[in-house]
């Protein structure tokens, strides 16, 4: 463990990523309390105020949006909804989708075929229609947003997990585990999941950004978060009409999404590399050659 | 093999029926097209008459049975807004999207394999780091933002490329470029990860022990196995494109199926929505069958019998 | 009252020769026009639809009359003059020497059939539903060049209404929608590649002679920034509608009135909005000066009524509510003291893209209402859901709401606005005021000065006594025009962009 910490401190990428994520987490926890009022304060006379101009106060350091609200304050406040919704959706689809994928990969029965066709259905079902239905039948609340996002993003985990399982299940040590009398459940938990998880986590890391962006599309339809609540995705989509004339309205929240997503991915990659000794082998191989 | 195909087709047909049913009933939970089709000033009688004309006044189960009967004889009903059979606009739009998706995915997969393999060759090396950061930034950039910035820069400021529309190769550059960013980011990471996995697998070690050179190990033995997850993820992304390249289609004025689906969902033009979903679903199902075949070809340990799940 | 049109134009050989020379000059070129949505159909009877009109109205399909975009008077087009024979009968004389694109001549028979076709229920023609729903009309040819319209009730403004009825060839199928309109206009529909473009080319047999523009290609891009970019990059000549924030180049961008008035409807049937003081307070809370030049164009005109200036019945005496938050708070306090549940949460219902910046407008209005003490929440809707909420029957037990809406009146008469918006017998008004209903009914059948005065009085009553809405602005739209051409956008640009009005520099 100390070795890991030593490694961590020697990796500038890991330190920078972790710092970004901690900052985002702090915003999520403290943002609404600190900036809640300012973030909602409409001031049409400061509409689309440009960034780096301190005349209208330091809160407009990153500029103001179309209603003259401080962008920096809104990014801070929106962190809670954005991270909460995206994390819940990613975890839900990872656990359910990955679980289904592993089970399907390990079994041979008719059930597996049936489940995969159900996944095909979900894949060919436009998320927009699902969103509209939820909007009409249920109400647009954060949990319903999570529901829609989790369902539409699930197939990729099912199919990735299944593919990985098909690839590793014939490996010698699993055959050995079978011979030694391990049940399917035992094999799944102890031999398959540890091997499948890294790939799924990489997918999940990438999905975080996609889910944030997908959430912005839902917000745009009135299905997602409703004003005065806010998310980074909603901020980007609100700034859409001003890309040509006031780039900062969509740029800063977009940059925040990119930075947080990037940090999550880089940290996941680093952790995976640092904690899995077998992955260091190829590096030596490469160095030898 | 033939038996597999037959059984798979049968399964797919059942699933398609389920899909059609779900879409039919869910769509009808979102209101009906009559209000939108008529001007705000239209009278209640006019609305009732149009509803009757298109059968929306019937109980929903009756509408469903009628619709299903139509589908079986390849009649998908009329588009209320376009005044022609709903299948017509769908068949016009589908090839556009299919071409766009195939071109984009081919380029993305080729680039991702190249970049991912080189990155995995020296994990944590300079190339690996830069490639990771660049592709991840691409994957997490909002596509509408990228699209409009690209138009303003390449078309308006530099005057190099047409802003939008369809035509020769120049018209493909911006839409494909924007569409490329997301799958490229995802695929590169997947390729890199599965290469690393493959390199640590026993059979690669065996190959190495038998004296295969490192490069040969990476590019022949590992590639073969690393391709499996790549195909899976690429398939998912392609399916996503078939009903989800909406932003790019809309901004660049490409008359594809995503754009058609969104506008008809907004208009509640149910017949078009249903026909569009059915056509894309058939495409997704066919693609998944092809992917499973590809599995069987690429990985000798996965037999068609296993893949048919 | 009788309208007399211009004398018939006689296209003599000399005129023709001069025009042909003009057409052969270097100036004769096609243009490209980028609109926001593809037309879903191009039926001659749908020329009043917003995606159809800008392409074919007055270009491919002509009408008997047209509305002067500058002063709202009725001008001759395919009819040269018209006369009211008695209260329920109008007679129109047709222009001579006019042929349809299929070569057949314009006859009274063709006009009568076009009129009947417009009224065929199965076609759901826009103008039939908007203007002719309450009227029983028969169209009969008198002779080859004269057609007579008889109505069951007196229709004062039939010549105005004829500007919405497209005249098409007898070859047009009577009972089904066509995607290949055959009209008498200066341009022929020569190609429609669905999803990609509509192409018009000059009709050599046009009665008005050739024009500088030899043809037009219509393309569509949903994003305003892209449309503006296309004109800037020289790929298109006109983008008839771009968002206010994209109109940044004074040399290319022109503001024009589009006869749209934006407003919020107040649901006066539900407490606390059933109290007129609360409705007034909502009006006094709105700072129109802060909205203008920011979310709305600086050229938009603060409005006190939904009828656009210049239309018959427009009341020039009315002034918009001033921004007076102090008075608004006082009114709310007074209502509260009388037991009105002022602290009930009011739902601000908005609609995405009903006009540029519509979402921001809802949030800005929410902030302004909050400043004087209203408790509100926002619900944004898409157009389908919005339509359900716009029309009666309204849901029982609904929350008190303030409803974002807009209205266009390009026909130049208050009758196209006031009954639909305010008469309780129609489907949009939330309140029932018998006195207002009576006044509207009288105004609708009156003529001349009496008509003007009655509508003006109805509008005063609405604005001052009933206060059923918050009227915001008479709107302007922006068009971007490529410097290589000369085209001055006008109120009809958004409904019928006449290619003949374009010339090359």
pLDDT tens for C349-367 read 999 889 988 989 999 999 9
pLDDT score for C162: 95
In a domain, A243, yes or no: yes
Domain co-membership, C168 together with C286: no
- Tell me the C-alpha distance between C282 and C332, whole Å: 9
Angle at C224 between CA C220 and CA C230, to 5 degrees: 65
Residue C327 has a CB neighbour count (10 Å cut-off) of 16
The percent of residues in chain C predicted with pLDDT above 70, rounded, is 94
Residue among C69, C63, C405 nearest C260 (CA): C405
In a domain, A17, yes or no: no
In this predicted structure, the answer to whether residue C188 has a pLDDT above a threshold of 90 is yes
- Tell me the C-alpha distance between B124 and A96, whole Å: 32
Chain A contact probe: residue of C323, C351, C359, C387 with most A CBs at under 10 A: C359
In this predicted structure, the answer to whether residue C317 has a pLDDT above a threshold of 80 is yes
Domain co-membership, C193 together with C274: no
When pLDDT is cut at 50, 70 and 90, the band that residue C216 belongs to is very high
Which residue bears the tokens 């009398």?
A181
pLDDT in tens, A83-114: 899 899 999 999 999 999 888 887 766 777 77
pLDDT score for B227: 78
In a domain, A202, yes or no: yes
Domain co-membership, C302 together with C402: yes
Domain co-membership, C21 together with C170: yes
When pLDDT is cut at 50, 70 and 90, the band that residue C505 belongs to is confident
The percent of residues in chain C predicted with pLDDT above 90, rounded, is 70
pLDDT in tens, C260-306: 999 999 999 998 999 999 999 999 999 999 999 889 999 999 999 99
Q: Which residues of chain A have a CB within 8 Å of the CB of C243?
A: 241
pLDDT score for C138: 94
Residue A95, helix vs strand vs coil: helix
Interface of A with B in 54-83 (CB under 8 A): none
Which residues are CB-contacts of C333 (< 8 A; sequence separation ≥ 6)?
A: none
Total of domains in chain C: 2
Residue among C183, C188, C180, C181 nearest C216 (CA): C188
Which alpha helices (DSSP H) does chain B contain, by range?
2-28, 34-37, 44-53, 60-72, 87-121, 126-139, 143-150, 169-200, 202-209, 214-216, 223-244, 246-251, 257-267, 270-298, 304-307
In this predicted structure, the answer to whether residue A149 has a pLDDT above a threshold of 70 is yes
A91: closest CA of chain B, how far (Å): 18
pLDDT score for B244: 60
Task: Please judge whether B250 and C195 are an interchain contact, meaning their C-beta atoms are less than 8 angstroms apart.
Answer: no
From residue C472, how far is each of C246, C289, C309, C428, C477 by CA, in Å?
22, 10, 14, 18, 15
Q: Which residue is closest to C405 within chain B, CA to CA?
A: B40
Domain co-membership, C156 together with C273: no
- Tell me the C-alpha distance between C305 and C292, whole Å: 17
Phi then psi for residue C402, to 5 deg, are: -120, 125
In this predicted structure, the answer to whether residue C385 has a pLDDT above a threshold of 60 is yes
Partner residue facing A222 (CB), from C224, C290, C352: C352
CATH number of the domain encompassing residue C205: 3.40.190.10
In this predicted structure, the answer to whether residue C477 has a pLDDT above a threshold of 60 is yes
The answer to whether A250 and A240 have CB atoms below 8 angstroms apart is yes
Q: Which residues of chain C have a CB within 8 Å of the CB of A221?
A: 352, 382
CATH number of the domain encompassing residue A233: 1.10.3720.10
pLDDT score for A175: 66
Per-residue pLDDT of chain B (309 residues; tens, 9 = 90+): 677 788 888 888 888 888 888 888 888 888 778 878 888 778 888 888 888 888 888 888 999 999 999 888 888 888 888 888 999 999 999 999 999 999 999 999 899 888 888 888 777 788 888 888 888 888 778 787 888 888 888 988 888 898 888 888 899 999 999 999 888 888 888 888 777 777 776 666 677 677 766 666 666 767 777 777 778 778 878 877 776 677 788 888 888 888 888 888 888 888 998 999 889 888 888 888 888 787 777 765 554 444 444
Range among A2-6, A10-14, A143-147 with highest mean pLDDT value: A143-147
Structural tokens at position A131: 């969103």
Task: Please judge whether B239 and A124 are an interchain contact, meaning their C-beta atoms are less than 8 angstroms apart.
Answer: yes
Domain co-membership, C458 together with C496: no
**pLDDT, average across residues C383-399:** 88
Partner residue facing A42 (CB), from C243, C364, C385: C364
When pLDDT is cut at 50, 70 and 90, the band that residue A207 belongs to is confident
In a domain, A285, yes or no: no
Q: Which residues of chain B have a CB within 8 Å of the CB of A126?
A: 243-244, 261, 265, 277
Task: Please judge whether A241 and C380 are an interchain contact, meaning their C-beta atoms are less than 8 angstroms apart.
Answer: no
Neighbours of chain C (3+ CB pairs under 8 A): A, B
A112: closest CA of chain B, how far (Å): 6
From residue B113, how far is each of A178, B167, B228, C204, C294 by CA, in Å?
34, 29, 12, 59, 49
The answer to whether B139 and A209 have CB atoms below 8 angstroms apart is yes
- Tell me the C-alpha distance between B237 and B234, whole Å: 5
| Summary mean pLDDT of chain C | 90
In this predicted structure, the answer to whether residue C120 has a pLDDT above a threshold of 80 is yes
Domain co-membership, C330 together with C439: yes
Task: Please judge whether A226 and C380 are an interchain contact, meaning their C-beta atoms are less than 8 angstroms apart.
Answer: yes
User: In the A/B pair of chains, how many CB contacts fall below 8 A?
Assistant: 212
Total of domains in chain A: 1
Residue A172 has a CB neighbour count (10 Å cut-off) of 9
Structural tokens at position B91: 């068949």
- Tell me the C-alpha distance between C207 and C19, whole Å: 12
Task: Please judge whether A241 and C248 are an interchain contact, meaning their C-beta atoms are less than 8 angstroms apart.
Answer: no
Residue among C110, C112, C92, C117 nearest C169 (CA): C110
C396 touches chain B (CB under 8 A): no
Which residues are CB-contacts of A51 (< 8 A; sequence separation ≥ 6)?
A: A60, A61, A62, A63, A71, A248, A252
User: In the A/C pair of chains, how many CB contacts fall below 8 A?
Assistant: 69
pLDDT score for B13: 85
Structural tokens at position B291: 């992917």
Which residues are CB-contacts of B261 (< 8 A; sequence separation ≥ 6)?
A: A126, A128, B243, B246, B272, B273, B276, B277, B280
Q: Identify the weakest region by mean pLDDT among A67-71, A262-266, B265-269.
A: A262-266
In a domain, C239, yes or no: no
Domain co-membership, C146 together with C283: no
Task: Give, as one character, the DSSP assignment of residue C349.
Answer: E
In a domain, C3, yes or no: no
Point out which residues pair with A280 in neighbouring strands.
none
- Tell me the C-alpha distance between B113 and B119, whole Å: 10
**Superfamily of B87-308 according to CATH:** MetI-like (1.10.3720.10)
The pTM for the full model equals 0.86
In this predicted structure, the answer to whether residue C77 has a pLDDT above a threshold of 90 is yes
Domain co-membership, C433 together with C500: no
Which residues are CB-contacts of C205 (< 8 A; sequence separation ≥ 6)?
A: C99, C101, C103
Partner residue facing A156 (CB), from B144, B228, B236: B236
Q: What is the ipTM of this complex?
A: 0.84
**Residue-by-residue DSSP string for C452-494:** HHHHHHHHHIIIIII--EEEEEEEEEEEEE-TTEE----TTTT
Task: Please judge whether C357 and A66 are an interchain contact, meaning their C-beta atoms are less than 8 angstroms apart.
Answer: yes
Q: Which residue is closest to A238 within chain B, CA to CA?
A: B145
Q: Which residues of chain C have a CB within 8 Å of the CB of B53?
A: 122
Partner residue facing B137 (CB), from A163, A258, A287: A258
pLDDT score for C287: 94
Task: Give, as one character, the DSSP assignment of residue B218.
Answer: I
In a domain, A96, yes or no: yes
Structural tokens at position A169: 């299940």
Q: Is C322 left (phi over 0), alpha (psi -120 to 50) or beta?
A: beta
Q: Which domain holds residue C426?
A: 257-477
Q: Which residues of chain B have a CB within 8 Å of the CB of A166?
A: 228, 295, 299, 302, 306-307
In this predicted structure, the answer to whether residue C3 has a pLDDT above a threshold of 70 is no
Domain co-membership, C498 together with C448: no
Q: Which residues of chain C have a CB within 8 Å of the CB of B96?
A: 195
Task: Please judge whether B26 and A167 are an interchain contact, meaning their C-beta atoms are less than 8 angstroms apart.
Answer: no
pLDDT in tens, C422-442: 999 888 999 999 999 999 999
B58: closest CA of chain A, how far (Å): 21
Q: Which residue is closest to B302 within chain A, CA to CA?
A: A166
Task: Please judge whether A266 and B23 are an interchain contact, meaning their C-beta atoms are less than 8 angstroms apart.
Answer: no
Residues of chain B with CATH 1.10.3720.10: 87-308
Q: Which domain holds residue A258?
A: 32-275
Chain B contact probe: residue of A277, A280, A282, A286 with most B CBs at under 10 A: A282
Chain C contact probe: residue of B164, B269, B272 with most C CBs at under 10 A: B164
Domain co-membership, C486 together with C388: no
When pLDDT is cut at 50, 70 and 90, the band that residue A276 belongs to is low
In a domain, A249, yes or no: yes
Task: Please judge whether B266 and C230 are an interchain contact, meaning their C-beta atoms are less than 8 angstroms apart.
Answer: no
Peptide bond into A228 cis (omega under 30): yes
Which alpha helices (DSSP H) does chain A contain, by range?
2-10, 12-39, 71-106, 110-123, 127-137, 142-168, 172-179, 184-187, 193-220, 232-238, 248-275, 281-288
In a domain, C315, yes or no: yes
Q: Which residue is closest to B145 within chain C, CA to CA?
A: C225
pLDDT in tens, C403-424: 999 998 888 889 999 999 999 9
Task: Please judge whether C246 and A245 are an interchain contact, meaning their C-beta atoms are less than 8 angstroms apart.
Answer: yes
B35: closest CA of chain A, how far (Å): 16
Neighbours of chain B (3+ CB pairs under 8 A): A, C
Q: Which residue is closest to C417 within chain B, CA to CA?
A: B41
Residue C399 has a CB neighbour count (10 Å cut-off) of 14
Partner residue facing C226 (CB), from B84, B164, B266: B164
Which residues are CB-contacts of B37 (< 8 A; sequence separation ≥ 6)?
A: B50, B80, B81, B267, C124
Task: Please judge whether A117 and B144 are an interchain contact, meaning their C-beta atoms are less than 8 angstroms apart.
Answer: no
Domain co-membership, C271 together with C393: yes
- Burial label for C259, CB within 10 Å (0-12, 13-18, 19+), is buried
Which residue bears the tokens 């057409």?
C23
Q: Which residues of chain C have a CB within 8 Å of the CB of B83?
A: 40-41, 43, 176-177, 179
Residue B145 has a CB neighbour count (10 Å cut-off) of 21
- Tell me the C-alpha distance between A271 and C383, whole Å: 48
Which residue bears the tokens 């602005």?
C473
Which residue bears the tokens 């800005």?
C364
Which residue bears the tokens 């008077």?
C73
């Amino acid at each position: 463990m100390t070795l890991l910490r030593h490694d961590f401190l020697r990796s500038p990428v890991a330190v920078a990523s972790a710092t970004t994520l901690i900052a985002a987490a702090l915003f999520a926890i403290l943002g609404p309390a600190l900036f809640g009022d300012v973030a909602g304060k409409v001031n049409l006379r400061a509409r689309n105020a440009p960034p780096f101009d301190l005349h209208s106060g330091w809160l407009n350091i990153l500029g103001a949006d179309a209603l003259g609200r401080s962008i920096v304050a809104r990014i801070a406040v929106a962190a809670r909804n954005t991270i909460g919704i995206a994390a819940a959706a990613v975890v839900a689809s990872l656990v359910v989708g990955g679980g289904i994928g592993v089970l399907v990969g390990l079994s041979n029965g008719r059930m597996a075929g049936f489940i995969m066709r159900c996944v095909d259905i979900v894949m060919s079902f436009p998320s927009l229609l699902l969103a509209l239905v939820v909007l009409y039948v249920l109400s647009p609340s954060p949990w319903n947003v999570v529901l829609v996002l989790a369902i539409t993003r699930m197939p990729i985990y099912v199919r990735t997990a299944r593919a990985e399982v098909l690839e590793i299940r014939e490996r010698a040590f699993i055959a050995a585990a079978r011979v030694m009398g391990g049940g399917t459940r035992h094999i799944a938990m102890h031999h398959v999941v540890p091997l499948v998880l890294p790939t799924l986590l990489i997918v999940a890391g990438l999905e975080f950004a996609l889910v944030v962006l997908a959430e912005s599309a839902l917000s745009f339809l009135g299905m997602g978060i409703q004003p005065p609540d806010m998310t980074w995705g909603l901020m980007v989509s609100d700034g859409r009409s001003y890309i040509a004339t006031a780039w900062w309205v969509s740029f800063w929240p977009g940059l925040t999404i990119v930075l947080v997503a990037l940090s999550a991915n880089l940290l996941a990659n680093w952790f995976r590399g640092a904690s899995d000794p077998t992955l260091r082998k190829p590096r030596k191989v490469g160095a030898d050659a | 093999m033939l038996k597999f195909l037959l059984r798979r087709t049968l399964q797919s047909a059942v699933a398609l029926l389920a899909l059609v049913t779900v879409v039919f009933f869910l769509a009808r939970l979102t209101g009906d097209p009559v209000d939108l089709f008529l001007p705000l000033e239209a009278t209640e009688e006019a609305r009732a008459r149009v509803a009757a004309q298109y059968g929306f006044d019937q109980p929903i189960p009756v509408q469903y049975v009628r619709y299903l009967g139509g589908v079986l004889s390849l009649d998908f009903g009329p588009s209320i807004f376009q005044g022609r059979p709903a299948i017509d606009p769908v068949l016009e739009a589908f090839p556009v999207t299919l071409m766009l998706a195939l071109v984009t995915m081919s380029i993305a997969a080729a680039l991702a394999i190249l970049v991912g393999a080189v990155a995995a060759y020296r994990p944590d090396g300079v190339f690996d780091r830069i490639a990771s950061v660049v592709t991840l930034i691409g994957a997490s950039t909002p596509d509408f933002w990228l699209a409009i910035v690209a138009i303003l820069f390449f078309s308006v400021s530099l005057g190099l490329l047409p802003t939008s529309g369809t035509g020769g190769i120049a018209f493909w550059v911006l839409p494909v470029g924007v569409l490329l960013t997301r799958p490229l980011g995802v695929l590169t990471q997947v390729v890199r990860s599965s290469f690393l996995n493959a390199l640590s697998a026993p059979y690669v070690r065996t190959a190495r022990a038998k004296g295969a050179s490192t490069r040969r190990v990476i590019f022949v033995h590992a590639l073969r196995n690393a391709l499996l997850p790549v195909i899976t993820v690429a398939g998912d992304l392609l399916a996503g494109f078939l009903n989800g390249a909406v932003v790019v289609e809309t901004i660049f004025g490409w008359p594809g199926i995503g754009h058609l689906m969104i506008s008809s969902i907004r208009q509640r033009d149910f017949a078009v929505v249903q026909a569009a979903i059915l056509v894309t679903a058939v495409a997704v199902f066919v693609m998944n069958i092809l992917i499973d075949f590809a599995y069987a070809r690429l990985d000798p340990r996965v037999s068609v019998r296993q893949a048919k799940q | 009252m009788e309208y007399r049109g211009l004398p018939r134009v006689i296209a003599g050989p000399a005129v023709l020769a001069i025009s042909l020379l003009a057409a052969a000059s270097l100036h004769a070129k096609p243009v490209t026009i980028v609109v926001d949505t593809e037309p879903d159909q191009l039926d001659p009877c749908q020329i009043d639809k917003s995606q159809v009109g800008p392409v074919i109205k007055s270009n491919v399909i002509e009408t008997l009359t047209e509305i002067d975009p500058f002063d709202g008077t009725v001008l001759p087009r395919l009819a040269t003059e018209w006369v009211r024979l008695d209260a329920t009968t109008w007679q129109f004389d047709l222009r001579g020497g006019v042929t349809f694109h299929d070569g057949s001549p314009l006859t009274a028979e063709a006009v009568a059939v076009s009129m009947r076709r417009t009224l065929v229920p199965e076609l759901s023609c826009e103008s039939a539903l908007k203007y002719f729903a309450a009227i029983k009309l028969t169209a009969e040819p008198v002779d080859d060049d004269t057609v007579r319209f008889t109505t069951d009730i007196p229709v004062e403004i039939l010549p105005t209404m004829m500007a919405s009825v497209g005249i098409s060839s007898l070859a047009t199928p009577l009972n089904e929608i066509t995607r290949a309109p055959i009209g008498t206009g200066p341009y022929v529909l020569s190609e429609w590649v669905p999803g990609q473009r509509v192409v018009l080319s000059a009709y050599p047999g046009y009665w008005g002679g050739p024009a500088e523009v030899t043809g037009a290609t219509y393309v569509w891009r949903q994003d305003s920034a892209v449309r503006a970019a296309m004109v800037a990059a020289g790929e298109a000549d006109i983008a008839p509608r771009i968002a206010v924030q994209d109109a940044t180049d004074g040399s290319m961008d022109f503001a024009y009135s589009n006869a749209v008035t934006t407003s919020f409807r107040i649901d006066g049937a539900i407490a606390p909005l059933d109290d007129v003081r609360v409705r007034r307070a909502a009006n006094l809370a709105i700072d129109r000066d802060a909205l203008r030049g920011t979310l709305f164009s600086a050229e938009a005109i603060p409005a006190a009524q939904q009828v656009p200036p210049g239309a018959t019945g427009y009341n020039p005496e009315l002034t918009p509510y001033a921004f007076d938050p102090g008075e608004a708070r006082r009114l709310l306090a007074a209502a509260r003291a009388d037991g009105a549940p002022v602290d009930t949460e009011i739902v601000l219902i908005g609609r995405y893209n009903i006009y540029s910046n519509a979402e921001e407008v809802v949030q800005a209005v929410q902030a302004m209402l909050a400043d004087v003490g209203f408790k509100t929440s926002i619900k944004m809707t898409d157009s389908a859901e919005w339509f359900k909420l716009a029309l009666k029957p309204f849901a029982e037990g609904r929350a008190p709401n303030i409803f974002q809406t807009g209205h266009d009146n390009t026909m130049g008469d208050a009758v196209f606005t006031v009954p639909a918006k305010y008469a309780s017998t129609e489907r949009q008004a939330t309140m029932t005021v018998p006195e207002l209903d009576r006044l509207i009914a009288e105004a609708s059948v009156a003529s001349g000065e009496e008509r003007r005065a009655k509508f003006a009085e109805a509008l005063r009553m609405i604005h001052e006594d009933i206060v059923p809405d918050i009227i915001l602005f008479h709107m302007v739209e922006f068009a971007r025009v490529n410097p290589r051409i000369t085209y001055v956008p006008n109120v009809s640009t958004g409904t019928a962009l006449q290619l003949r009005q374009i010339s090359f520099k």
